[in-house]
Amino acid sequence: MQNPLNKIMAPTSIAIVGASNNPTKMGTIQCLNLINSGFQGDILPVHPKEGIVLERKAYPLIKELPYAPELAVLVVPTGLVPGMLEAFGEIGTRYAVIITAGFKETGEKGRALEDRVKEIAKRFSIRFLGPNCLGIINTWLPLNMTVMPVADHRGKLSIASQSGTYVAQTLPYLHKHGIALSKAISVGNEADIDIVDCLEYLGDDDSTKAIGLYIEGIRRAARFLEVARKISRRKPIVAQYVGGTEAGARSGSSHTGAMAGPDYVYEGLFEQAGIIRVNTIEEVYKIGWALASQPPLKGNRIAVLTNSGGPGTAIANTCNKYGLEVPEFSKEIQEEVAKFIPGHASPKNPVDLTFHIDMKGITKHIPQLLFNSDAIDGVIIHGIMDTGFFKTVYPVIKSRINLPEEEFFKMVELKLDTLTQMPFSQGKPLMISSFFDKDDHAVRVFHAQGIPVFDTPEKAAKAMAALYKHYLVRHRSGGIVKQKKIPSGAQALMKGSEFFDEFTAKQMLSYYGIPTTREALVHTLDAALDKAEEIGYPVVLKACSPDILHKTERGMVHLDIQDERALTKAFRSLRKKERRSPILVAEMLMGDREFMAGVSSFPGFPPCVMFGLGGIFTEALKDFTIRLAPLTRYDTANLMDGIMARDLLGPYRGLFPVDKTVLGSILMGLGQLALHFPEIKEIDLNPIMVVDGKPIVADALIVRR
């Protein structure tokens, strides 16, 4: 099925309802931007009173349009939207952008109105963006129907946003920082087309080299993961998520009606999908631009060139923090670098010229050496400056200059053509750090040539780290999801169990190859003694009932029972507290580490598999990671490596390393189990004991909805 955005982003004709000759009205401003963007198709204003709108013939009614326009744009009072969309449907228009707000983000009345719009759209097979959005931009067509003019065209970064501001009001900010967009899509309430549709469209768009996302909530998380995982291996995706806190979720709901979820769920989703998560919209734009404009990294070895020790150290430190290396140069490279720096400067890495105003070394000779070296994968330079610096000091030195001001500033402009071509000729990325902005000629040249400029050294290093993150995503083992048929025994057990006690839960786990303790259910002391003998001492006794949670706190678990006498005492103690429930007799595991795994449910998401530190530390330390089912082998490895206590999985202090293959199978099995039975609300395996390196589930809980 064709993505509707293929038509919406490149229509041949547009009808706009809500534009007039009043330049202070939003619809008029959007129509003017559409006209001034250079859009070559027909623009058909619809206005009930004005026959000419913005020097174009206007039509009083939708049904009086000369033909069905390919795209309808509505910027009208909320109550008029359903009728107007229906009118467009009747004449044959099949695509729309509904700018108008006042729908589900306002409450139940608005939700009902939005449902009516959806029903009309479905009846006429209309696909639409919005409502409550700010339009679209396609700088390659060109087309701009937002409230702000576009200054830069044919960029490489595309944006899809659940906030209209981030595709409209930020356009002057992007121009100031040398960032040119390819496409921008405001999705608004996502009543029809959503962020997943945008991702699919931009993933297939040849002019989009990197994708930036602003997200308040994702409705189709499973499909989002499927799409993003495929795209991110060939095209970087940068995302900001803001619904992970109580305040963020509440604001997002009132803003676009977004359905937010816990931050750690989105953290897991983004990691699993290969998405580079950032914390600010500035990073979406600037890191996205770096990913879009620069050649991809082929390794993690970075050269740092600076005219100041502090920024160079900050860059090196930030690089190391994010997994990049700043290796000391070979003796041969150091000898070559030393030819172009003062005697007191360091030729190692970082190369520190110690505020050397002569820019030839930092802009030409040394970069050439670094880009040509097979030992370097990327270059970060701080301190290139020309007119910005001299404008600052001009009041001090002007009395000593025998040139007109304009001629002097022209004289100090750097020749940067050689440097700006190095990344593309050598296939290695370049990041620039400068405390000067567009007032500096050098910064303007970098902007024009597609070289990212950052206003702090740390930001330049973080951008390079994002390129390394994408390098790792590109080189991930693909992994496949092994779909398993529902075991017949599991099907029968689910049908026959209204509630799950621990014994039944472990039976269910066994159908998915998850190792559990050897155990049996008994009702009498004699049966308990027989089973303990069969299993072998030491054993554990537990009350076993789906009604009894937190058995340990209630004194209904007896551990390390060594003989018949101790078992008899423990059995009678349990019977005093719980007379009806059966008793579980299980082997006593003598483990040396404890982990936990489980499944949690969140609205709009497939089952989420969790892994972390287990036992009594689970709640206290909250050291866990989460991924969406179904899991690949890569996902399970990523889950295990994601916890802070990951070292405990190895041969820690003489302990056997944990069998990660078995542990991975437990996590994959949990995902399959939860997908097979949507009626399962929660699964909790805690603890998973590690015995001589082998993980075994000692306790299990399955909760039905």
Mean pLDDT by 10 residues, the chain (705 residues): 95 98 97 97 97 98 98 98 98 98 95 98 98 98 97 97 97 97 98 98 98 96 96 98 65 49 94 97 98 98 94 97 97 94 88 76 94 97 94 91 91 95 98 96 97 98 98 86 86 90 96 97 97 97 86 88 97 91 95 95 94 83 92 95 95 92 97 96 96 96 92
Overall fold of domain 593-704: D-amino Acid Aminotransferase; Chain A, domain 1 (3.30.470)
pLDDT of residue 578: 86
pLDDT of residue 356: 61
What DSSP letter does each residue of 406-440 carry, written as one string? HHHHHHT----HHHHHHHHHHT--EEEE-S--TTS
pTM for the whole structure: 0.93
Residue 363 half-sphere exposure toward CB, CA atoms < 13 A: 20
Overall fold of domain 518-587: Dna Ligase; domain 1 (3.30.1490)
Assess contact for 221 and 606: CB atoms under 8 A.
Answer: yes
Which residues make Cβ contacts (< 8 Å) with residue 176, sequence separation at least 6? Answer: 437, 438
pLDDT by residue (tens digit) across 356-401?
A: 666 888 999 999 999 999 999 999 999 999 999 999 999 999 888 8
pLDDT of residue 47: 98
Round to whole Å and give the CA distance between 324 and 298.
Answer: 12
The alpha carbons of the chain give a radius of gyration, in whole angstroms, of 32
What DSSP letter does each residue of 641-683 carry, written as one string? HTSTTGGGGS-GGGPPPP-HHHHHHHHHHHHHHHHH-TTEEEE
Question: Cα dihedral sign for 663, 667, 668, 673?
Answer: positive
Which residues make Cβ contacts (< 8 Å) with residue 553, sequence separation at least 6? Answer: none
Assess contact for 81 and 117: CB atoms under 8 A.
Answer: yes
pLDDT of residue 496: 87
DSSP three-state, residue 563: coil
pLDDT of residue 355: 65
pLDDT by residue (tens digit) across 659-703?
A: 999 999 999 999 999 999 999 999 999 999 999 999 999 999 999
Assess contact for 84 and 63: CB atoms under 8 A.
Answer: no
Round to whole Å and give the CA distance between 33 and 377.
Answer: 42
DSSP three-state, residue 227: helix
Helix H or strand E segment including 635: helix 633-641
191-225 core/surface letters (b: 16 or more CB in 10 A; e: else): bbbbbbbbbbbbbebeebbbbbbbbbbbebbbbbb
Strand spans (E) along 89-190: 95-98, 127-129, 136-138, 143-144, 157-161, 181-186
Round to whole Å and give the CA distance between 57 and 45.
Answer: 7
DSSP three-state, residue 509: helix
In degrees, rounded to 5, the angle at the alpha carbon of residue 671 between the alpha carbons of residues 667 and 672 is 115
Q: What are phi and psi of 33, to 5 degrees?
A: -65, -35
Helix H or strand E segment including 88: helix 81-91
pLDDT of residue 358: 67
CATH superfamily ID and name for 295-474:
Succinyl-CoA synthetase domains (3.40.50.261)
Residue 423: asked if its preceding bond is cis (omega within 30°), the reply is no
Which residues make Cβ contacts (< 8 Å) with residue 377, sequence separation at least 6? Answer: 297, 298, 299, 300, 301, 302, 428
Which residues make Cβ contacts (< 8 Å) with residue 631, sequence separation at least 6? Answer: 481, 609, 639, 667, 668, 671
Dmax (CA) for the chain in angstroms is: 110
Round to whole Å and give the CA distance between 209 and 292.
Answer: 5
Round to whole Å and give the CA distance between 159 and 171.
Answer: 12
* Backbone angle region of 73, left / alpha / beta, with phi > 0 → left and psi within -120 to 50 → alpha: beta
Round to whole Å and give the CA distance between 485 and 676.
Answer: 8
Instruction: Find, among 316, 307, 381, the residue nearest to 344 by Cα.
Output: 307
Q: What are phi and psi of 346, to 5 degrees?
A: -95, 130
Assess contact for 273 and 211: CB atoms under 8 A.
Answer: no
Assess contact for 497 and 489: CB atoms under 8 A.
Answer: no
Round to whole Å and give the CA distance between 226 and 152.
Answer: 33
pLDDT of residue 252: 45
pLDDT of residue 248: 46
How far CA 577 is from CA of 206, 283, 543, 560, 584, in Å, comes to: 69, 59, 9, 20, 15
User: Residue written as tokens 């999801």?
Assistant: 481
pLDDT of residue 250: 45
Please give the structure tokens belonging to residue 486.
């529902």
CATH of 5-291 given 3.40.50.261, 3.40.462.20, 3.90.1150.10, 3.30.300.30: 3.40.50.261
Any idea where the domains of the chain sit in the sequence? 5-291, 295-474, 518-587, 593-704
Q: Name the DSSP class of 699.
A: -
Round to whole Å and give the CA distance between 306 and 257.
Answer: 47
